[in-house]
Amino acid sequence: NAGVMQNPRHLVRRRGQEARLRCSPMKGHSHVYWYRQLPEEGLKFMVYLQKENIIDESGMPKERFSAEFPKEGPSILRIQQVVRGDSAAYFCASSPSSTGGAFFGQGTRLTVV
């Protein structure tokens, strides 16, 4: 049973470009969460999605960031017009229910140059 799969592992974007980060949850998991880890800081919750629904996006910046989890395919975290401050590790996690422990992917390290 493969774990949570994220790609790409590393992504370099120039300021103003778009970044698309993908996350395939573990088999049987329909709950997906995105977290961001800035240098020297802990993981911060961004958004919680179930299939085709955003349940809680209270941790998402109001502009430029969006997330989706379509009926088919991976969850996508999209960052438009990236800025240097978006450079961070973005982790996706999944769980089989909303009350269980979440399992994390290996993260995507975004570098904005």
Interface positions with another protein (CB under 8 A): 3-4, 31, 33, 35, 40-45, 48, 55-56, 58-59, 91, 95, 98-107
Q: Can you list the alpha helix ranges (DSSP code H) found in the chain?
A: none
Of 82 and 90, the one with the shorter C-beta distance to another protein is 90
Of 33 and 65, the one with the shorter C-beta distance to another protein is 33
Count CB atoms within 10 A of the CB of residue 83.
12
Burial of 21 (0-12, 13-18, 19+ CB in 10 A): buried
In the complex, least distance from residue 14 CB atom to another protein, rounded to whole angstroms: 26
Q: Measure the CA angle with vertex 64, ends 12 and 35; round to 5°.
A: 70
In the complex, least distance from residue 16 CB atom to another protein, rounded to whole angstroms: 30
Of 82 and 102, the one with the shorter C-beta distance to another protein is 102
In the complex, least distance from residue 45 CB atom to another protein, rounded to whole angstroms: 5
CB 106 within 8 A of CB 10: no
